Structure 1
């Protein structure tokens, strides 16, 4: 006869871990419902009791602000860009970077659009140091690193070239409108004219 082992509770999370888990569960709901999302919906998505949300957030507004701050964070895009294989041609590296940036901007747009359309105004401030057009220093560095194998052929230092590339990405039309990612990369690398300049 075997004796039944007492059940162990899962190890507890730190407040920061719990906060991150709740935000991750809330982001898709906020993108869909904006301010109409309920803490009950978020709790179900996170697999927790609703009261747990209020152990790490003072109110729903603070949770919505945290979701917007998370959407603005470029960490995922930075990781994707930093993992691009450097043995590919530069055009392919830049196309992959452009796709990572597009996904980042779409996420920002989905969360910000849903919140703004439903009347939410952020109480918080900016989430960190940023360069031109909101590009974080980490994002600029990761993008500049893509140009390093061709550093001797660049018209300007890699960081300046990266900033121009990021400006182009941040200002391009929404996906499905205008030029493809490949076309944008080719124009960025080779200019608007075909063939050799006269």
Structure 2
């Protein structure tokens, strides 16, 4: 006797917010590749959904592209990487890993913005501020500096300046140099930041 087939369990339904986030994340690589020329059909295929599903959680393609820009600019992923850095390793290695995480974040922003600009897409990088307030541009900087400050904490007793101040200086140094630095270039930036431009014999 053939045993009855087990019933396939249906995956739990996503909430509208989860569905929207899934669609946005699936769209970002397509935006980098095709810019604003990407079609909702291509997006639906990449996300593994029907094209109509997109418009159940997003008004139109412009809103989706806006959401992709905002998601790309969100520092969440790089902050998570910095927060997972092993504090037992040398400070130079901690700072190098943090710098590489932040550079990867900036490279992704540049790829999305560049693709949209070259294909004539509009770029709106800020959500409308509540009650007519001006959006806080420090919102993405402060968490990054807070995360960097934690990397300096193990050496707190030997630092010239408080960790918070060093974090601000290191952040500024990273983003005034080239965004196309190689890992070797980043290592040089960290070395000069920690030990200065002069050798001990100079």
By the TM > 0.5 criterion, same fold? Answer: yes
Partner residue, 1:53: 54
Partner residue, 1:34: 35
List alignment gaps of at least 5 residues for structure 2: 129-134
Please say if residues 39 and 50 of structure 1, whose CA atoms lie closer than 8 Å, have aligned partners that are also in contact: yes
Please say if residues 31 and 112 of structure 2, whose CA atoms lie closer than 8 Å, have aligned partners that are also in contact: yes
Count, aligned residues: 195
1:89-124 C-alpha deviation (Å, 9 max, x unpaired):
111110111111111111111111111222222345
Please say if residues 35 and 112 of structure 2, whose CA atoms lie closer than 8 Å, have aligned partners that are also in contact: yes
User: For residues 120 and 50 of structure 2, what CA distance do their matches in structure 1 show?
Assistant: 27
- Residue 149 (1) aligns with residue 154 (2): yes
User: For residues 40 and 157 of structure 1, what CA distance do their matches in structure 2 show?
Assistant: 52
Offset of 1:5 from its aligned partner? 4.5
Partner residue, 1:25: 26
1:124-177 C-alpha deviation (Å, 9 max, x unpaired):
52597543xx74322111111000011222222211110111111122113247
SS in 1 for 2:175: helix
Offset of 1:184 from its aligned partner? 0.4
Please say if residues 135 and 166 of structure 1, whose CA atoms lie closer than 8 Å, have aligned partners that are also in contact: no
User: Which ranges of 4 or more aligned residues in structure 1 deviate by more than 6 Å?
Assistant: none
List alignment gaps of at least 5 residues for structure 1: none
Please say if residues 129 and 137 of structure 1, whose CA atoms lie closer than 8 Å, have aligned partners that are also in contact: no
* RMSD across aligned positions (CA): 2.2
Partner residue, 1:138: 143
User: For residues 178 and 124 of structure 1, what CA distance do their matches in structure 2 show?
Assistant: 29
- Residue 172 (1) aligns with residue 172 (2): no
Partner residue, 1:71: 72
Please say if residues 69 and 125 of structure 2, whose CA atoms lie closer than 8 Å, have aligned partners that are also in contact: no
Partner residue, 2:121: 120
Partner residue, 2:131: none
Residue range with higher mean Cα deviation, 16-25 or 164-173: 164-173
Partner residue, 2:132: none
Partner residue, 1:87: 88
SS in 2 for 1:180: helix
User: For residues 179 and 57 of structure 1, what CA distance do their matches in structure 2 show?
Assistant: 42
